[in-house]
Amino acid sequence: MPVTETLKKIAEKTTGWARPGEEDLVKLVRPRKPHTYRFKDDGIIPNHPRWPLVIYRGAVRPDEAFDPAAVFEELFERNGWSDSWRDGIYDYVHYHSGTHEVLGVARGQAKVQFGGLKGRTISVKAAMSPSCLPEPVITASRRATTCWSSAPIRRTAAMTNAKSEDHKAAIKTIPRVGRPRKDPVYGADGSLLKLWCPL
């Protein structure tokens, strides 16, 4: 799937086909209240000590004129969350201790486990859940096409598998990753900026 989606993305960017413009994005984004979830450090998965997982359900209106993955890519890019890529959801627990990530579900559905093995499983489906992840930890039971992007303040996007030997370094690194300037869905007015308050 990643190869097909990558080729599709290149073709869309080159031709502009199925990609929304600025005015289209304004019409496609719907106001939604954030759902938040907090996860504790379980000794292997550090999670973020202060900032919750944020999920916006139904924030993007589906429109057959546009590729849903392209909608998320353009939306995230507009708000400064760049370097988007398309993929499924990994079926093993992992996290990123040096960046924040956002996930947009473009096609299909999945059950995603956030927060590690002691975290919470949440059902997500297409055009339902752009999820702003302070430190994502994910497993999946069903395949879905997703659009991922990382915050511009990242130190590194390197992925860490869930191993106890990485925990000590991660608990020092995670709090140092700064707050993004914009919410990936709602920009400067997004709830993320209020929910992720700096110290």
pLDDT tens digits in sequence order for the chain, 199 residues long: 567 766 666 666 777 678 899 999 999 999 999 999 999 998 888 899 999 999 999 999 989 999 999 999 999 999 999 888 888 887 788 888 888 888 898 888 888 888 888 899 888 887 544 566 665 666 555 566 777 788 766 555 567 767 777 888 888 888 888 899 999 999 999 999 999 987 6
Please give the DSSP secondary-structure letter assigned to residue 178.
P
The whole model's pTM is what? 0.84
Q: Which CATH class is domain 2-181?
A: mainly beta
Distance CA 95, CA 167 (A): 11
- Residue 100 is encoded by which pair of tokens? 């924040």
Q: Going by C-beta distance under 8 Å and a sequence separation of 6 or more, which residues neighbour residue 7?
A: none
Residue spans per domain, the chain: 2-181
